[in-house]
Amino acid sequence: MTHSKLQTKRLEAQMSQSQLAAAAGINGRMLQYYEQGAKDLSGAKLATLLKLCLALNCTLADILPDGETTELLTRYGQ
């Protein structure tokens, strides 16, 4: 089974989905969708992505699929 980068970072942080969802202030079901690929993480609001990064103490590149970070930064004008 292949883990998403988000799921890999969560497991490295030894957090459950419930713990990460609570720490990031997002819905637990949405986190499941992101990890399973049912929802595209790169389509998430920047605020949601940053909350996940803060909760996991990581960067956007650590949780987004390869190549998505540059696209997001371009989209948000960073």
How confident is the model over 6-23, as a mean pLDDT? 97
Question: Which domain does 23 fall in, by range?
Answer: 5-75
Interatomic CA distance for residues 15 and 76, integer angstroms: 29
* CATH assignment at residue 11: 1.10.260.40
Domain count, the chain: 1
Among 15-24, 33-42, 52-61, whose mean pLDDT is lowest?
33-42
Q: What is the pLDDT of residues 62-73, one digit of tens each?
A: 998 877 666 666
**pLDDT value of residue 16:** 98
Q: What is the pTM of this model?
A: 0.83
73 or 45: which leads in pLDDT:
45
State the average pLDDT for the chain. Answer: 88
Tally of CB atoms within 10 A around 70: 12
